[in-house]
Amino acid sequence: MRKRSRFFGLLIIWFTLILLLIIVFFVGRNIVYSVKDKEIGILPEKDFEKNRVIQEETSTLVLYQGNRDGKNGRNEICAILKQMKIPYKKKSFDEYLPEMLSEYEKVILVVTDREVLAPKIPDLRAWVQAGNSLMFALPMELKDSAEIKELMGIANLPKEEWAEVKGFTCVDDFMPGGSRELSISTPYESSLNAELMDDCEVYMTSTGKTEVPLIWKRDYGEGEIIVDNLGFMEKAYRGFHCAAYTLMGDYTVWPVINGSVFYIDDFPSPVPPGDSYQIREDYSMDIKDFYTQIWWRDVSNLSRKYNFPYTGLIIEMYSNQISGKLPRQTDTTRFEYFGNMLLEMGGELGLHGYNHMPLVLEDFDYLNKYESYHQWISKDEIKASIKELLSFCHELFPTEQFQVYVPPSNIISKEGRNILAEDFPEVKCIASLYLPDQKDVSFATDFEITDDGLIETPRITSGYVLEDYMRTAALSELYLHCVNTHFQHPDDVLDVDRGANLGWQELYERFEDYVAWLYDALPQIRSFTGSELAGAVQRYDHVEIQRKETARGLQVSLGGFADEAWFYLKINSGKPQEVEGGTITKVADDLYLIQATSSEINIITDKKE
């Protein structure tokens, strides 16, 4: 009798749970979502074509050494200046003539060989003392180089000249969110173990027992010297080199995006059947119930808590089919439930794929890294898959526009891009990767409009573990572009390589820690959907800028201006008092975020003489 009573008790409990799930799904299917008014939309290209063209005189010279480090550093510095829309010239030391210095106000040295630099020091010293700015972009060997050390403000170099930098932090509110200590995942002896003169002002240091100065500035005569001793010349660190550059001169103004997006790949999509050991151990439920009752509850609550929307990327079904008639997904309950809830929260839906096969043809090489992936047999089959996906999406969400495409595993071929651009005008942007991986076939790009007219809105960070390399890139991009782009997958919690063994509670806490850091570091950043970010990138890419000092402060004239533009202003002499043609907000020490509402902006300052 006791066993029977216990059995019936369990039956009642399970019946109640099943009934509740049925109610939830039927309620979800009947959620009526309203289309959110976009804060910023994608504009027709003709709105930019009518604008005037702005040209600005070049005042920055990149002077580089022709060795491997010099060329790599040159490429990174030039990429940064291009993104900042700073006009520059680049010349190798082989082309250097002393008289060319008079044409520039700022010179960036990309050199690692003291013997190449030493003969130029007298000219450079006199040029700086006359009121110009010199930046050392790379650390270099400095044994027996007293003149170079003196110019850089280095009082002493110990016998162990190079320091292994395992972590770093910014000082004095130098960068938004920069006071947090970050570790470097692959440390090496990258920086000079310099002891500085008393007149040097340090902005970034290494962490650990001995603080190594990584970015510093020294007034020198009427000019100044900036030293970037970080030593990491790669895309994830561009924002730090940008920050060093903005210490040059009285001010730097550069256009930014000002937008944050959180994507959910493979969502909505069919839920993988079966169990996960970790989920069963922690929550006593299968994957399908975990997604509904735990995962979605937590990630949606986080969205409400910090007031940001999600952009979900739909997969119609998981299959290997790459030819023939593609069957329609008939089990749409979870698509409607999750999709309608996401839209009701102010989010957006985009495209990920009919299935999870990247848009590549038979000649595409996966480098033996994606054994489960196949190539489509023709362009017509690729087109058919996108048509089916769009038809499926419009059937479920008839008032939604599907403007964002995310390539499966961030892989797409040139042919796939051309098909999207030429045959599917509804698709306006591609959100792939920002950080390149030379050992992979993933597609990485910058924030820009490409020649085919598609807007690139690459994702910088991903997942729930969010190790320090990603946080470093996130901090870097808050400074360079004023942007955050992050993506996650529901099945991240199932993948050991993505942290599944940590358990969902730990993963969720790490994710919330990142979101809290972001909005605490830069509360002024705008929370967007994917297409809204594309609109912001479109305006950023089109805008041209001319900067001119005036008796009142600074005049900024814009070309390619449609309705708004955003800028950072780093001001090293004086404080901004008023902005005509826009609004201004302080975001860090001497760093301001400006919204331009006119093509002519006057920044009135109390510049110190």
Question: How far is Cα 74 from Cα 89, in angstroms, rounded to an integer?
Answer: 11
pLDDT category at 120 given cuts 50, 70, 90 is: very high
Q: 256: buried, middle or exposed (CB in 10 Å: 19+, 13-18, 0-12)?
A: buried
pLDDT digits (tens, 9 = 90+) for 468-489: 999 999 999 999 999 999 999 9
pLDDT digits (tens, 9 = 90+) for 360-417: 999 999 999 999 999 999 999 999 999 999 999 999 999 999 999 999 999 999 999 9
pLDDT for residue 20:
46
What residues does each domain of the chain span? Answer: 60-250, 259-536, 540-605
Which CATH superfamily does the domain covering 60-250 fall into? Answer: Class I glutamine amidotransferase (GATase) domain (3.40.50.880)
pLDDT digits (tens, 9 = 90+) for 8-37: 554 555 554 455 445 444 444 445 555 667
Q: How far is CA 188 from the centre of its chain?
A: 25
Rounded mean pLDDT of 211-229? 97
Q: Are 570 and 520 in contact (CB under 8 A)?
A: no
- The share of the chain scoring above pLDDT 70, in percent, equals 94
Rounded mean pLDDT of 560-581? 96
Q: How many helices (H) and strands (E) does the chain have?
A: 16, 30
pLDDT digits (tens, 9 = 90+) for 36-60: 678 899 999 999 877 777 788 899 9
Other Cβ atoms closer than 10 A to 50: 8
Question: How far is Cα 146 from Cα 155, in angstroms, rounded to an integer?
Answer: 9
Longest dimension (CA), the chain: 103
Rounded mean pLDDT of 215-224? 98
Sign, CA dihedral 17-23-24-29, equals positive
Q: Is the pLDDT of residue 543 over 70?
A: yes
259-536 maps to which CATH number? Answer: 3.20.20.370
Rounded mean pLDDT of 165-170? 95
- The share of the chain scoring above pLDDT 90, in percent, equals 87
Q: Is the pLDDT of residue 338 over 90?
A: yes
- Please, which residues have CB within 8 angstroms of residue 379's CB and are 6 or more apart in sequence? 361, 415, 419
pLDDT for residue 22:
52
Total residues belonging to the chain: 609
Lowest-confidence range among 13-27, 179-193, 239-253, 406-420?
Answer: 13-27
Q: What is the mean pLDDT of the chain?
A: 93
